[in-house]
Amino acid sequence: AGQEKYRSMAPMYFRHAAGALLVFDQTDPSSFDDIERVWLPELLPHMKNSTQFIVMCANKCDLNTNVAAETEHEKFMARVEDQCKARGIKLYPTSAKSGKNVASVFENLVDKVLEARKVEAELIQRSGGPREEEGPAPIQPGRTNGDAPSRRQAIMAKCCGQ
């Protein structure tokens, strides 16, 4: 929910986030402007000012625009694409109604986060483990224990009913 009334709760959800999905209504340019003006600036400090694990979802891609509005919509989406590309944010057309790209957005983001954690764990292991002040070594990405399904499968089953 991107409404202003939820803004005070955002830091609680942003804190310690491994990744973020920013969703806007592609039929309402002001919803994207709110992301650019409010939500992205609030999120970035919690993501170490990196967009590496942030993806943008242009929701309602299943709706057809009328011919008169089509040119304006194309200009708007071109602006969105340019801004996402400039920030290094992957843009996905999605539909909450039909489910188009919803699972793949989550899968791609989770895979990206887990791959980065795997690389980080390997670097720590090669350097002789974490230093005392760094805390314990991260859990090995992809496995919860020897017999359990992968972490990605568990997350996908929980959020996407797979």
* Residue 133, token pair as written in the block: 């002040």
**What is d(CA 131, CA 144) in angstroms, rounded to the nearest whole number?**
24
Q: pTM higher than 0.85, yes or no? A: no
Task: With beta carbons less than 8 A apart as the criterion, state whether 60 and 119 touch.
Answer: no
**Predicted pLDDT at 146:** 45
**What is d(CA 73, CA 159) in angstroms, rounded to the nearest whole number?**
31
Between 30 and 137, residue with greater pLDDT: 30
Q: pLDDT digit string (tens) for 59-78?
A: 999 887 665 677 888 899 99
**What is d(CA 138, CA 79) in angstroms, rounded to the nearest whole number?**
39
DSSP letter for each residue of 59-99:
E-TTSPPPHHHHHHHHHHHHHHHHHHHHHT-EEEE--TTT-
